[in-house]
A and B are shown apart, each in its own frame.
Chain A
Amino acid sequence: MLGFSQFLSQLGGLLGGAGSEFDPNSPLLWVYIVSIAIIPFFMMYAQKFQSRVILGEISKSLGKLKTMKEGARKEAVNYVKTAIRTFTSNDPATGVDRFLEYFTIMPVDLDPSGIVRKLDHIMRTRDERLRAEVRKLCSGASDQEVSKVENILEAATALNMIYKIVRHFYLMGKRTTSMFVLVQLQMVMPLLLEEAEALQKAINAFKRGQPIGDGIGPMVVGKMMFGKEKKLVAKETVYSEDEFKGRKLYLLKAEGPAGTVGRPGEAITRLAGDMGIKIDVIVMIDAALKLEGERTGDVAEGIGAAIGGIGVEKYQIEDVATRLEIPVYAVIVKQSIQDAITIMRKEIADAFEKVTNTVYSVIEDKTSEGQSVMIIGVGNTMGVGQ
């Protein structure tokens, strides 16, 4: 068996030391020992250290999310208290808290046949129930005020949900010290924070009734409808008739300036289906998510139903279009998710003329005189009249 000093000598040789001339009193000796010892130490504990660092980072972000969601709740309560001036003496905080915890159970998709109808039914029930809750919360308020509160509460609910999900995975990662859970959470955290910040900013726009980026579609169609008779065709959805170079135009949008997206799917089903109005072409105008590197406010045109959401409205529009063989054209204005839910940026408002010209050029190119066109302004019409 080797003695300790012999062992160190050999070690020194291996590490490029002076070999047999190894000096046990040299300070380099300790550098060698520490260098060697640190490897198994990190082999055992590196992951734990990394977990600690990640937990620290997530904890900081979770703190930010908590501040945001509490701020949103407070703003919602204060708005109902001060701006709406309810006639009931109840504290709105209880109602707001109940709203924040409201959930929706999606229909079973084991047998997907007919799922859209079920989804539509559930979403309608949800919307009606929430609207009734908000009305109870701010009794005596106008429709526009009610829609503002509804939008504020929806943003606050989304923030609450983001916070709760992040907290769930954070605590789970902490309890199990699972690197996989923590790393995944750390990776998505910047995106979640961006979205949360956008929701927080959206509350300000909703409170003041300002148009948001998503409202560019209703803004374009609202201008076309201005000064014409508006008829209610579905819940919170109006349409007008107009003419352009010998073509009949049917203009459709959510009824503004309240913060609503209306029901364009139901409206088109009623107009083209039940009322039997002959439509040759559908043109949809909507905000669309841009890719990184694309410019906010860029306009593009394409084919298909340009509408977001859970998919019910899109299904209804596609169903009518397919059944009646109506081509659907889309004009979109590119923007980020943050731009879409916060005050409309100047770049988006500046796209107005270009979108209008594009829509008219699509009509001229794709239809002939005597034909009829349905133009739908898709999006939240908050702060945009008609």
Chain B
Amino acid sequence: MLFGKKKEVKPDIYTEDKCQACGENTRRQFEEGDYVYRSGLQCKKCSSSNTLVIAIYGEYPPEDKH
């Protein structure tokens, strides 16, 4: 649209956990209190609770490129 209002695109925010036992990476929605290098949620693959948050990031839809 030439004169249309630019639509604000909000990113989806994810937390990525890595299991320290089996190496499985799990992506989930960000939860309040998450921070990088704190303990993550239980591993879905091996049920180990020795997981670590390795990244928190926002993912934008592909068309919104800076």
Contacts and interface: CB of A to CB of B under 8 A. Distances in A.
Nearest to B65: A296
Contacts of A219: 36, 55
B37 A348 contact: no
Contacts of A343: 11, 13, 56-58
Interface string B38-59: 1000000000000010111111
A346 B59 contact: yes
A344 interface: yes
Contacts of B14: 346
Contact of B37 (A346, A352, A384): A384
Chain B interface size, as a band, is: 20 to 34
B36 A342 contact: no
B66 interface: yes
Interface string A309-340: 00000000000000000000000000110110
A209 interface: yes
Contacts of B54: 223
A226 B57 contact: no
Contact of A385 (B11, B35, B58): B35
A103 B21 CA distance: 52
Contacts of B59: 345-346
Contacts of B56: 210-211, 343-344, 349, 383
A256 B66 CA distance: 28
B37 A349 contact: no
Nearest to B33: A209
B57 A385 contact: no
A136 B3 CA distance: 47
Contact of A296 (B30, B36, B55, B66): B66
A345 B60 contact: yes
B38 A338 contact: no
B63 interface: no
A208 B32 contact: yes
Given A343-B56, A384-B36, 15 more contacts: A209-B35, A219-B36, A222-B36, A223-B37, A226-B37, A226-B52, A256-B37, A342-B58, A344-B56, A344-B57, A346-B58, A346-B60, A349-B16, A349-B56, A385-B36
Interface of A: 208-211, 219, 222-223, 226, 256-257, 296, 335-336, 338-339, 342-346, 348-349, 352, 383-386
